[in-house]
Amino acid sequence: MKFKIWIVSVILLITFNINIVFAGVLTGKKIVIDPGHGGSDPGAVAGNVREKDLNNSFARKIAELLTAYGAEVLFTRLPEEDVYVALQDRTSKSNSINPDLFISIHNNANTNTTVSGVETFYSTSRPYITDDRYVEYLGNKYQYVREEIIDGAEYVYFIVDRQEVKLEKSKVSIILSKTPWQAIESKKIAETIVNNLASLGFKNRGAKDSNLYVTKYTNTPSVLLELGFITNPEERQKLLDPTMQSSISTKVVESILKYYEQYDNNKRLAFAQVKDFDFNLSKEFAFVGQAVDITVSAMSNIELYDFKLQIKRMGEILSDSGFSNNLTYNFVPDREGEYEAILYIKYQGSNNEYEKFISKKINVYQPAAIKNISLTTDKAIVGNKVSLNVEKLNGSVLGCEYTFDIFKEEKLIQSKKSDSNIFEFTPTEDGEYKLIVKIKDKLSSNEYDDYKELNFSVQKIETKPSESKIEEPVKPIDTISLLKYTRTLKRGAVGEDVKELQKALIKLGYLKITTPTTKFGPATETAVKAFQKANKLPSLGIVGRATIDKINILLPRVASNTQTPSRGNTTNSQTKIGKLIYTRTLKRGAVGEDVKELQRALIKLGYLKINTPTTKFGPATETAVKAFQKANKLPSLGIVGKATIDKINSILAR
């Protein structure tokens, strides 16, 4: 085995919360991943390949797979951040987290370039673990806490999934041992992983007891993986191959799943846990005031369990039913937002707080309403197409249906229903027109949820007496081409509609490319997600009706703020935003004219939704700054320094 140099870094924790319905056997498990080396320490180097780069790649792939199975994954250093972290800092951080498993990722080296294979390491010696006994119960080992006599009966207390459990002493075995149970389980996991990796064609060098720092001084089951020799040219090419990296990562995760699946099976036998419970929601999407019914279901033995339903909103418990054998529940939301329904399941007679819980989301909305109707041109001319844009408030994620009725002198001349908030028509006569728009949320059972009227004039083109030709129609300044919804766009889509989407995202400052294309690639997906997050849409990177509608609402605003004043125009300067000047760092609580100028810029860029800027840096300004920083790949701290000021100025200058 190669000489190991361990490294220091600031620990960054990434937590992935996965709904239990999708999670699998790793739900509730905390796993710390330690990418070996980093920063000034490259690890082993061979053939222009640095070990730390391979370690980073494997660490990220393994973390993503573990997360998909429900584990909460934490790092001693982020794989993407090339920093140095000392051994004691790695083990100290892991011990403070107290995870279920610690995995250190490495690749091997040897002066003999023919040496090859995979090997894993664990440590029997654990100086920081002073326990001299553990509890063994139906195949699993648990941390011993204490013993107690209650009314003449002997009980033992031990830890199961971070909770203290009390059981009759006669049902369990208390094992006196100089080798901690954490070391015993580490060996079992290390053996499973190395045997699984060898099935990919690697030489099996075995699972070995060692005094390696990170496996010796951690207080949990801990293993160090050597995934192959980068000093062996043939094996180095295998380790560089993305397909082989995925296969190796999969084998590591399969081994962990196998270990915890057996652990969970033993635990369910011991504590009467089951996997086949669920509950059904009558609505996943609802309006404020609509009742949501909840029904518990199970494959079998439902009569052996009690249930408790909690309703939460933004972490606050709104209702708690308490444990009973009720199978149906009901609640009526009184505010919009994302609610969480949590069903706790407890075996009747169990001393545990609960055996399992299931969580589901309920999204609650205010009914859709029309905020504003506007013409996207300065003048409506006979024979020229007129576009009318509807800006809505509230509504569900399912979208809305619009009804457009055009009247001239009280006579209906055109009617149209559409999913689009844009209505276009070409007037054939001059005069006074009225548009009536009705909006209906697709979640709503009403005929319509709101309506608004817009009166506007259509002008006829005049001819000059000295000319027989008609003047050209007056064209609006900097006409914006609004997007039309024809299909859902996502990564991989190709077409002219992708190109138009990219033009709009460039105009709005979210897409940083010079020339739009017809291909929906990673950069477009990132820009779409940033736009959706900034505008309080689900940030999925998929462009549907709601995203198109929001883009169309913002495009005319950007156009009006960037138009060139016509001759004699002296009022347009009132809306012009001056270049921001950096004089100090601004953050929540700051007061001054520089705060007002910042707010004006954020309003113009579409991040701050207030009517009148103020001199106070409050929560809304902080949220807008964070959204701007995230969209423009700056640290999203909500604190405005020179980098943020410079980025705002560069976008305003466009």
The answer to whether residues 254 and 291 belong to one domain is: no
User: Model confidence over 74-126: pLDDT tens digits?
Assistant: 999 999 988 999 999 999 999 999 999 999 999 999 999 999 999 999 999 99
Residues in Cβ contact with 476 at an 8 Å cutoff, skipping those fewer than 6 apart: 376, 377, 378, 379
CATH code assigned at 416:
2.60.40.1930
Q: Which domain holds residue 547?
A: 496-562
Q: Which of 218, 241, 264 is the last residue of a domain?
A: 264
Within a domain: 390: yes
Please give the Cα distance from 254 to 118 (Å, whole number).
Answer: 16
Same domain as 447, residue 340: no
Note whether residue 325 is domain-resident.
Answer: yes
Nearest to 273 by CA among 468, 20, 470: 20
Looking at the fold, whether 391 and 305 belong to one and the same domain comes out as: no
342-357 pLDDT, tens digit each:
999 887 766 678 878 8
Put the strands of the sheet holding 431-441 in their side by side order. 380-381, 450-459, 431-441, 400-408, 411-418
Which CATH number characterizes residue 56's domain?
3.40.630.40
Asked if 120 and 206 sit in the same domain, the reply is yes
In three-state secondary structure terms, 634 is: coil
What are the angstrom distances between the C-alpha of 475 and each of 386, 389, 470, 480, 568? 12, 18, 15, 12, 18
Looking at the fold, whether 286 and 195 belong to one and the same domain comes out as no
What is the maximum alpha-carbon separation in the chain? 117
Q: What is the CATH number of the domain that holds 620?
A: 1.10.101.10
CA–CA distances in Å: residue 290 to residues 361, 365, 412, 489: 15, 10, 36, 32
257 and 285 share one domain: no
Examine residue 628 and state whether it is found in any structural domain, yes or no.
Answer: yes
For residues 101 and 247, membership in a common domain is answered with: yes
Q: How many domains does the chain have?
A: 6
Confirm whether 569 is domain-assigned.
no
Q: Tell me: pLDDT of 19 over 50.
A: no
Question: Where a domain ends, among 348, 365, 382?
Answer: 365
Each residue's pLDDT tens digit, 594-643: 888 899 999 989 899 998 899 899 999 999 999 999 999 888 889 999 88
Total Cβ atoms within 10 A of residue 551: 22
Domain assignment present for 612: yes
Report the C-alpha gap between 545 and 531 in whole angstroms.
Answer: 14
Q: Is the domain of 614 the same as that of 642?
A: yes
Q: Do 215 and 94 have their domain in common?
A: yes
> Is residue 490 situated within a structural domain?
no
Taking the whole predicted model, whether its pTM rises above 0.85 is answered as no
Q: How far, in Å, CA of 215 to CA of 125, rounded?
A: 9
pLDDT tens profile 186-227: 999 999 999 999 999 999 999 999 999 999 999 999 999 999
pLDDT of residue 431 exceeding 70: yes
Q: Which residues contact 237 (CB under 8 A, 6 or more apart)?
A: none
Buried b (16+ CB within 10 A) or exposed e, 330-350: ebebeebeebbbbbbbbbeeb
Structural domain contains residue 435: yes
Show the CA angle centred on residue 208, arms to residues 202 and 214, nearest 5°. 105
- Domain stop point among 220, 243, 264: 264
CA-CA distance, 274 to 302, in Å (whole number)? 10
pLDDT of residue 300: 58
Are 413 and 428 in the same domain? yes
pLDDT at residue 269, as a whole number: 60
pLDDT one-digit tens code per residue, 472-495: 443 333 445 789 888 889 999 988
Shared domain check, 345 and 296: yes
What Rg, from alpha-carbon coordinates, does the chain have? 32
The reply to whether 470 falls in a domain is no
Q: Are residues 123 and 249 in the same domain?
A: yes
From 200, 223, 210, 1, select the one nearest 115 (Cα to Cα). Answer: 1
